[in-house]
Structure 1
């Protein structure tokens, strides 16, 4: 089995969390496996992500005495998966705990529960901690240097999510320099980087052949069954056949501007995902006759463009900045094109509000939108990617009064002053009467735990600052519809023989928003695991 021989039992297209988990599952189920990655770098968006995976009723929760159950998770999802396939939701919930145990068994990865709450933890079946898993600091050993191996994150991936966000490091508290130094000296990594490198190690030990710079451009079919792929590598076309199946796990299509315009529509900033998500999986599945579902949806977050900030790829793709501290920290609020607040800024699904359309004008209801803060905020927290005391970039607007700031962002000064005064009253009282910011466990977890209120504070001390907020994608949600074994379905509802899909290549199980931070990676790895087992002709051990 090798690319040189041109055949294998299973070929996996893509090397993110979904693809690597699928490859590992297929190999450990007895199949010969080749992973084909289009780029020279491994891991796709997973490698530079937070690496959190949402796994209700996982084994680490049980070890710590944190109560959870499949029934509770089912109740939570049922309330927030309207219009989705309940059988697919059920398949995910049943398989996710087994997937996590499988990954631990066959890789150097050890998971830890996070203090991260469900997005809507107060809902029936929700949990305020434990369902999110992340990789404990992982010794990368002889895997090699990180540079050039995976897509790089904007910060060293040596702290855990709880150390980053639970400790409000992104909000300007003291950075644990000594801990970072110890981790770097020990060759330890965390987050998505730890997840990808751990999965790569497991795949190599299982005999998976990993081939990069090999882009799949066509699926072969014989007697109605997917029987292989045609790929481009080094300027040549390579044909490979499979005995069992092809698993599509090549990410979404958010970096294809044409597909985004035709399928998603509406104003959208540059995506945050790795610039390899060009719709390869969607196109391959569509040509094979797959039914396409949820093409207009994306995993979205607010972003702001930064001049000169680009990806290290031949196209110098723009790389926007995700707005994080600007959503959660005290002494900040967001206003829309009318100068009014329009959303709970700390909401997980704030970007859904950025997509709203005015039915009377067909124009965006809220855009342009602005994150606004004052001197109190700037003295304590990151703003537009810049720490306190550092020079702000040119695209940040600064004014000595709110009226002057209103002129800069083109809103009515009186309206902005009225909006800020109303917000300041809520902040002083410790309760946001308009949008409930800070009421949810999710809001409070991401805020400043040392402040009088983790996410509310007055905006009243000059100077005042503003930065534009756009809707940005961390992944598309539309793709081929799959069943509970991750088999791609045709328009007749029947599986296309030999074709599987997982991750953002497949139609999302949940939507249109998110109900847990680690949901898109949790579903990717879980359905990848199910795809790998099924493609190998085995049954999952749940």
Structure 2
């Protein structure tokens, strides 16, 4: 719905920002206006960014230059174009590549955050345009005590139990291996000292700077409607303290994330099913709907940031919604993923985004998705070395982990074709002993090897031959969607005739993302969102003035 201007406004601001994730917080910092208001639907600050790894794919930024050297802008542009496909405008790509280093400098100058090079390879290291060293940067450990009592405002992160940067995890051998080598006394010391890492660190640093700059925040304050006067967005209607509140604004920035938990939007827009979103349940497409109500054009709405996920019984978000965790251990020796036919269907060590698209393979005869349900299958050798979701190495398997003394027993437990599973494992084992995977090429790229175990004969491959065998169900998950409002490179939202909607700007997963159908590397969700958050905030402020 669209609201008309009221006779009397309840509140006024130069710029109103809808959403408090990374894009929204950077927009608030970049907006050179005195009166800035951030509206957050959830009870806490940070959105999806706060539960993310906090990585940002920002080529030629200071940390990347210092550790990996400079890449030609033409090479970066070509790589993004190859990932994104033809649906993304050249101007968006050029703006991102040009501004990425500047935005890192801006954030470090305006906040107490410091970024470091993560050393995480690009996701397509078999392409000549990609970088084996990668372009991901991340926050160093952040002192949460700087926020004082405001630290409690930050959303808790159920995906990262301890404050550990991604680079530290992979130096230790990766997520599934980390539990066997971590210094838990040190990690507990960090927790007790309120040291933060990953997305929580990023959000905390940005939030502190926003508070210091006088930015106002309202939580549990969902934006309901935009207010339009003679074709221009002049305000927003929000529920503040459960009261309908008309907020006059010189400009509005939408940075409210994707459509992750709105089932109707997912079913009507996305290219395939989502059975396990890993993001907070408040991410329901609100920003996209606000833009649609005022005639905004949409793009890239069939795409998401796909990721295999799993659910541990009893794990839930604060509102009771099921918590789906990201499945990292699929890349390690002694594991495979199979469908109901007991057949493999992917390179399990490949990047999670493109692997996730394998869940969308459609059978035109049965009218079902061939690879759902799916299962991660491991042997006892794997269980002795690596974590299986929340189950530590060597720990007795709980009831929610399927177990079988033989592969046939496991197949019966899962309702998977026993003959198919036995044949699949036999063929996989034969080649794994030789360190090859002719079916899907697992372990053939620098990226595959990076996410494997560097301390074994092969980082990604080993036969499954030590009983008993174990399995957990794997879902078609997402860590966000990446289609929505079409914007210009300055963040202006465009209508269905490609004309600007005056007073309305957008960034984050509420927009048609510059990565299009692909995923360049770790942090390629958040990195561009922060860059275009900077653009949206800066230009919204100029419009408001």
Per-residue CA shift, 1:194-246, capped at 9, x if unaligned? 00000001111222112212111010111211000111122211111112x10
2:134 & 2:417 partners in 1: Cα distance?
A: 45
Q: Secondary structure at the match of 1:535?
A: helix
User: Bigger CA drift: 451-460 or 156-165?
Assistant: 156-165
1:6 & 1:227 partners in 2: Cα distance?
A: 12
Q: Secondary structure at the match of 1:123?
A: coil
1:73 is matched with 76
- 1:457-468 equivalences in 2 (<5 Å): 457-468=462-473
1:204 & 1:377 partners in 2: Cα distance?
A: 47
| Residue pair 1:169, 1:175 contacting (<8 A) in 2 also | no
The answer to whether structure 1 residue 487 and structure 2 residue 492 are counterparts is yes
2:499 & 2:355 partners in 1: Cα distance?
A: 37
1:446 is matched with 451
Q: Which residues of structure 1 form unaligned runs of 5+?
A: none
2:159 & 2:95 partners in 1: Cα distance?
A: 35
Per-residue CA shift, 1:474-524, capped at 9, x if unaligned? 111221111111111100111111101111111222232322121111111
* Count of residues in correspondence between the two structures: 530
Q: Secondary structure at the match of 1:79?
A: helix
| Residue pair 1:480, 1:488 contacting (<8 A) in 2 also | yes
Q: Secondary structure at the match of 1:179?
A: helix
Q: Scaled by the length of structure 1, what TM-score is found?
A: 0.94
User: Bigger CA drift: 113-122 or 384-393?
Assistant: 384-393
How far the C-alpha of 1:265 sits from its partner, in A, is: 6.6
Q: Secondary structure at the match of 2:84?
A: coil
**Which residue of 190, 194, 209 corresponds with 2:201?**
194
1:526 & 1:157 partners in 2: Cα distance?
A: 28
Q: Residue 333 and residue 138 in structure 1: after superposition, are their counterparts in 2 closer, same or farther (change >3 A)?
A: same
1:293 is matched with 299
How far the C-alpha of 1:289 sits from its partner, in A, is: 0.5
Q: Secondary structure at the match of 2:289?
A: helix
1:141 & 1:129 partners in 2: Cα distance?
A: 33
| Residue pair 2:154, 2:203 contacting (<8 A) in 1 also | no
**Which residue of 274, 278, 301 corresponds with 1:272?**
278
Per-residue CA shift, 1:35-74, capped at 9, x if unaligned? 1111221001111110000001112222235232312211
**Which residue of 436, 449, 454 corresponds with 1:431?**
436
2:304 & 2:259 partners in 1: Cα distance?
A: 10
Q: Secondary structure at the match of 2:181?
A: coil
**Which residue of 221, 243, 248 corresponds with 2:228?**
221
The answer to whether structure 1 residue 409 and structure 2 residue 408 are counterparts is no
The answer to whether structure 1 residue 509 and structure 2 residue 500 are counterparts is no
1:309 & 1:392 partners in 2: Cα distance?
A: 17
Per-residue CA shift, 1:155-209, capped at 9, x if unaligned? 3341110112332352233112243244335432110000000000111122211
2:258 is matched with 252
**Which residue of 388, 391, 398 corresponds with 1:386?**
391
The answer to whether structure 1 residue 418 and structure 2 residue 437 are counterparts is no
The root-mean-square deviation of aligned C-alpha atoms, in Å, is 1.9
The answer to whether structure 1 residue 112 and structure 2 residue 116 are counterparts is yes
2:358 & 2:451 partners in 1: Cα distance?
A: 19
2:93 is matched with 89
Q: Which residues of structure 2 form unaligned runs of 5+?
A: 1-8
Runs of 4+ displaced beyond 4 Å: 145-148
2:539 & 2:225 partners in 1: Cα distance?
A: 22
1:158 & 1:410 partners in 2: Cα distance?
A: 39
